[in-house]
Amino acid sequence: MPKKDPVMSSFKAAVSGLVHTFRSQRHMRIHLFVALVTVLGAVLLNLHMREILILLFMITFVLVAEMFNSAIEATVDLVSPGYHPQAKFAKDIAAGAVLITTIMAIIVGSLIVIGDDQWERLKLSLTGQTFGLPFVGRLIAGGFLVFLLVIIGKGLGGHGRIMRGGLVSGHSALGFFLATSVFFLTDSVLAGAITVLLAIIIAQSRWEGRIHSVFELTLGAVVGVALGLVMFVFMPK
């Protein structure tokens, strides 16, 4: 009987893990779809090779975090089949790690899409003496209003905590507010569409974690988009 090659065995096991994660985890399939759309958008936007490499690194970062999250969930389910607060805590931490990597990927992607020229204009707007608030000021004020409306919404709903659950999803509201801001900041419809897609991923992760219902996520998205329109369309420039 021929001896097994340890290198090939390890490679086959790794490929098997990738295939199993893709088949069993809807999150992974969505992340891969978004990754494909992002890379396609980067090519259509004629980004430099360095920027595409940064995007690929962030995409890999998110995918690896999602795989670790799946592995931790499977291990916890195996060790603790029934409900246990510590098991839930471990799953929440793993899901939080995925959320952090996703948000960082959105921030990095947004900065790349904005570009150096637009970034210089933003920095100049900080010292500009114009009627109304500059972009960064609008962004900070809008973020504060998002937080305030989310807190009010959670209070009206009578359930959930500040950072988890409740009538209005804060993650969804903030994600869609930032996506709307980027949409109006850049002249590219494709770039704006990518940021909206990434905001949807943030909302979807909250639904997958059973933290919010579709209705609560939709309310958060409406709050975020409405505030984005108020800050960047209706407010005097």
Tokens linked to 111: 């900065």
CA distance 77 to 19: 20
CA distance 207 to 213: 6
> How far lies 34's CA from each of 27, 96, 186, 212, in Å?
11, 19, 20, 22
Distance separating the N- and C-terminal Cα atoms of the chain: 77
Active-site residue, from 66, 120, 208, 216: 66
Let me know if 208 is a catalytic residue. no
Instruction: Find all residues with CB under 8 Å of 171, minimum gap 6, and list them.
Output: 99, 202, 203, 205, 206, 220
Instruction: Find all residues with CB under 8 Å of 39, minimum gap 6, and list them.
Output: 52, 55, 56, 59
Q: Which residues are catalytic?
A: 66
